[in-house]
Every structure is written in C-alpha cells, then in structure tokens.
Structure 1
C-alpha cells in the first residue's frame, strides 16, 4: 500500500482541495500534517491520522520574532523528518501555506518526492522557492506556469469536493422560484463584507430576493437583522447545494471558492481579501472578470450604493445573469482531484 503524507492546513482553500484528492486515493495509507487549532482539526481528525507542528509565516518586522519563527521552522523540519521515517512515507502532497515549507524541506532531505499544488493565479514567494525542491508543481490556473519557468509544472485545475459534481438538496426554507443571493467570506468569514452587506440587504429583499449570509464565527453583529428572507449562518456544511441553488454570490476570491463557483455556474461579485500575500486574490478575481463571469471591487473602494445597485441590476436582468453563468461554466476544469491522484501515483520514489 502507498503511504502518503498530506500537508494542508489553515483555511478551506488549502484543506478542501487536499481532502478532494484524498477521497480519490482509497488504496493509500494516508496521514495528515497540519498546524494546531486550525480548520483541519474539525474536518480531518476523524478521517485520517492527524499530526500538527507549530509553524508560521515570516510576516513581522521584529528580528527577535523572526528568529523565533525560524527556530520553530527548523525544529519542525527535523520532527517531520522523523515522522516520514517512522511512518515509512512514500510521497508527500501539499497544497501550500505555512506548513508546506517545513514538510517540503524535510521530504527533500529524506529523498521523498513532493507534489505541490499551487491553486492561485500568482504563485507566492513560498511556492516559487519550494518548487525547486518538488518533483512537480501542479497548477490551478494554466497561465501560472509563466511565473515558474525553471521548474516542472502541470496544469490540472483546483480540486473540489465530490458533492459539487452531483445534484444536492438544499435544506433551507427558500421558495423554488425565488432569487437567491449567497454571501461567502471564506472559511473564516469576512467582517468587513458582512457589515457592508447588512447595509444593502433590505433593498435586495424588497425586490423579492432571499439572502443566505455566511458570516463566520467572529462577527458580533451576525444576528442584528431579523427577516424571513434573510438567513444568517456562521457556517454551512452543504456548500455544493447552496451554490447550485444560488443565482448570485458575493464572495472573497480564494481559488477554492472560485473553482466551486465555476463548477456550479454561479455568477459572482468578488471582493478580494486586501491583505492576501502578494494580493493574489485580486489576480484570481481578475481572471474571472476577464472571462465576463464576475464583477470585482477592491474592498476599500466598494460603497453601499455601488453594491446595492449592482446586485439590484443583476437580479432584475436574468439575461445578464444567464450570460455570466454560461461564462462561468467555461472556466470549469473537470476531474482535477482524479488527475492529481493519478499524478501522485505516477511519481512515487524509486
């Protein structure tokens, strides 16, 4: 049996694609590497053996703090190296993030091949560096290859969960013919988007729209609007059903969410996270805007009036929404999870 270590941690954009690939590998003995108190502990811990290491990124100007982070990284590399040996790991798969640095270096030292998946349009500095130590870097966007000219890359798209490929039942009380707007701030929510949406939502409701607002866990104003056409949830498990039913999404521009919007053919107004490394969410969004499948606004420039008007215009113009949905459908990359599973099987250490 192939022994595989998956290193995916932190946000849904890292964890969900890795889970999608893992589900296509029933013939593997899978172990999972993450960081403490992150999303993988809720999603992975009951499925695969989960190990955690306390790594973090170099995102501070403090020299002392950076030295402490470096020490943690080096300590984690050697701990992971022992884990690879103990579990007799054959191959490593990582979806990036802070964890990828430590696991890639440990695997490289151990002579174990690493497949790295970069889902963003613009690869971060970490990916650009780590790709040199990987057997292959798989890409979510075909055009990303031009930013990694000196390493081996392959375009396979971004894996999404299996349920997105089949029709799902939505267990929320929304009339069949009602316009549905879904607000998605990412796996951790987005308070700034939440505040803006709450200023607009009553105008959309007056036009007959229903709104499902996924607020995340850190929004103190989450229950301040009470209306039968407005459903506020911190988290919703069946995102496939929700997006399949949605007529329009207002969302961050994480690569995983964008892949889900494409497969469900859901037009979107995208508000990229302004503090994402190297502004990568903006470039993700731009790809969809250029394809005429979405609108995009910088968070600091988006006003209540603009967002209210754009949504009202779209929900009153079914032709425009259908055109955007059609353009979304052209951005689908099918079978990404299966293709990545096959790539892992074909790149075992000799």
Structure 2
C-alpha cells in the first residue's frame, strides 16, 4: 500500500486524482493524506477508491509572519509523528507527494520513518517545500526538468482533443478558484467578441458567478457561464482558443486537448512560476503570453486573438505531452521499491 499526499489547490489535486486512477488500474491500494484546509476535503472526502483518507490540521508556511511560520512548522512536526503511526498501521511502502502545504506532514513523516519519498513538482519553478525535500527524496518527477516524465493529465483531455482551424468559440479559464482579472477581461471583451460572431465559454469560479451572470445579462451577451465544471475537457473541446492563467495542470490539460492559448500568468504566484510555466510553450512558439498590464491595451489583445495560427499550434501541441504520465510515474515508483 502507498500514500498519496498533497493538495490545497486544484492543480495539485488533479495530479492526485490521475495517480489514483492509475493505481486503481494496477490494483494498487492507496490512502490519501491531505489537509482540513484548502480544497482537499471537497475533492476527496467522498472518494471511495482510497482505502481510507486522513485530513489533518496542516496550514501553509509561505507568506506568513515569523510567528505564524513557527506555529505552522511546529504543527507540521507534530503531524509528521501522527503520519508515522498511520504508515505503520497500514504497512505503507512508499509516499508520493504532489506538493502543496498539505503534503508536508506525510513527507516529513516518510523521511523520519525511512520510507521512500517520491515527489512530483508540477511547476517550472519548484515550490519551497519540494525544494527543501528534494535531496531527501528517492525520485523527483517533473515535466519541466532534464529527467522528464509526462505530466499526469486525465485521459479525457486527450480523447476529446481536436485540431482547431477557425475561431468560433473562446473559453476563459481562471483556474479552479476563478480569477477576478480574467473575469473582468472576459466581460470587457464580450461585446466585441459578440460583434465578431465569436461565442464565449467562461469558467468564473464560485465567488464571482453572480456578478458575471449579471454583467453578461446587462450586456445582452449569451455566454456558457459556470463556476466550476467536473468535465472541463468537454468544455475545452467546444473551444478554438483559450484565455487562461498558467497553472501547470491547466497548461498541460490545454496541451493534451491541443487547444491554442493566450496565457495571462498570475503575477503574484510564488517565484513567478506561472510565467515560467507558460514560457515553456512560448519558447516553442506554441502560445502567447500577456501580462495583466499588457491586457489593458484591448486592441492589441484582440488583434492577438484573431491573428493566432490556430491550426499550426493545435497540430504542434500534440507532441508536447502524452497520456500515460501517471502510469509511468507509478511504474517507476514500484520498480524502485
């Protein structure tokens, strides 16, 4: 039996989900260790394919005051001993961390218990926890580093991929929690896109749903608006172009779906990792990147929307990633035990 740990946000949790699906195919039993905070419980509290789940009282350390950091670290240390008891109870052979603060107790617990720790770094710039733990891990997986492993992406994103040729529909994606800047941009561009005959799909997040719904009604623009969707691949399939944040999971889902994208990286992400995630594609001429400031020039932004070579980019995105990332990762873990 193995432990899958980590989360906090949709990007990390998507990887856990992919690894769980791969483990089920291999008849490999897994338990999940996450946090009471963040999105972990919302994703996995009712997930019956885990043998059992533990949601601990872990909290983040980054961007906290010195006192809060000390308290959080003390709590992580305390919870790591609890994790060691969990490992012993379930005869755990390996711990796979996908990062995020909720991975800290089980990751440190694995080191203290001398259980092999495997880490997946989702971003182009490693997070603080993963950077610290990397020397203690048995293997460190990344889609961005020299020793590349395909990024774990749900198979439906590949299955529903298609070649884009003509701009008929745009999807705005703000990530699993929505993004106010992208929501406001979508509303600002909506009348001009309507005039050009372009349909809009918009994932706006729960917090801004009512505001966005009201704004589109006032503009008299029909939009496929939703806060969150369990089958985002089907929504991507309908679109010919995406305007999106550049979280790693979203980026590779867009690649798997061969959907050309204009990325607007979240400017306050740790180590500016969203910009460097998107740069991975920009260096291959497979996307465009706009900063939030650059988006203020609406005509330049609109020009980019209507001049992207959708067919070329869509064809080339097919070679960026492959569908068996989670399977390969689990195979490497099992073969090294």
Partner of 1:71: 74
Partner of 2:305: 311
User: 2:100 aligned with 1:97, yes or no?
Assistant: yes
Aligned CA-pair RMSD = 2.0
Deviation per CA, 1:65-107, whole angstroms, max 9, x where unpaired? Answer: 2221122111121121111112221111111111233221101
Q: Distance in 2 between matches of 1:178 and 1:275?
A: 31
Q: 1:213 to 1:61 in 2, by over 3 A?
A: closer
**Equivalent of residue 315 in structure 2, options 309, 318, 326:** 326
User: 2:128 aligned with 1:130, yes or no?
Assistant: no
Partner of 1:46: 46
Partner of 1:31: 31
Partner of 1:21: 19
Partner of 2:180: 191
Partner of 1:171: none
Q: Distance in 1 between matches of 2:170 and 2:196?
A: 12
User: 2:279 aligned with 1:281, yes or no?
Assistant: no
The offset of 1:120, in angstroms, is 1.2
Unaligned runs of 5+ in 2: none
Partner of 2:8: 10
Q: Distance in 2 between matches of 1:136 and 1:125?
A: 17
* Equivalent pair of 2:265/2:275 in contact (CA under 8 Å): yes
Deviation per CA, 1:228-257, whole angstroms, max 9, x where unpaired? Answer: 641211011211112222100000111111
SS of structure 2 residue aligned to 1:222: helix
Runs of 4+ in 1 over 6 A off after TM superposition: none
**Equivalent of residue 254 in structure 2, options 255, 261, 275:** 261
SS of structure 2 residue aligned to 1:333: coil
* Equivalent pair of 1:101/1:126 in contact (CA under 8 Å): yes
Q: Distance in 1 between matches of 2:94 and 2:306?
A: 50
TM-score (normalised: structure 1): 0.87
Q: 1:61 to 1:259 in 2, by over 3 A?
A: closer
Q: Distance in 2 between matches of 1:83 and 1:300?
A: 48
Greater alpha carbon shift after TM alignment, 103-112 vs 54-63: 54-63
Q: 1:229 to 1:313 in 2, by over 3 A?
A: farther
* Equivalent pair of 2:155/2:323 in contact (CA under 8 Å): no
* Equivalent pair of 1:77/1:105 in contact (CA under 8 Å): yes
* Equivalent pair of 1:104/1:133 in contact (CA under 8 Å): no
* Equivalent pair of 1:183/1:214 in contact (CA under 8 Å): yes
* Equivalent pair of 1:105/1:133 in contact (CA under 8 Å): no
* Equivalent pair of 2:127/2:270 in contact (CA under 8 Å): yes
Q: Distance in 1 between matches of 2:294 and 2:197?
A: 27
Deviation per CA, 1:90-130, whole angstroms, max 9, x where unpaired? Answer: 11111111123322110111121111111211222322220
Q: Distance in 2 between matches of 1:301 and 1:61?
A: 30
The offset of 1:40, in angstroms, is 2.8
Which residues in structure 2 correspond to 1:153-192 (within 5 Å)? 154-167=147-160, 179-192=168-181
Q: Distance in 1 between matches of 2:273 and 2:322?
A: 20
Partner of 2:58: 55
Partner of 1:149: none
* Equivalent pair of 1:204/1:311 in contact (CA under 8 Å): no
Q: Distance in 1 between matches of 2:122 and 2:265?
A: 15
User: 2:333 aligned with 1:341, yes or no?
Assistant: no
SS of structure 1 residue aligned to 2:211: coil
Deviation per CA, 1:11-63, whole angstroms, max 9, x where unpaired? Answer: 12101112112111121221111111432323222222221122233234632
Q: Distance in 1 between matches of 2:127 and 2:66?
A: 22
Q: 1:156 to 1:178 in 2, by over 3 A?
A: closer
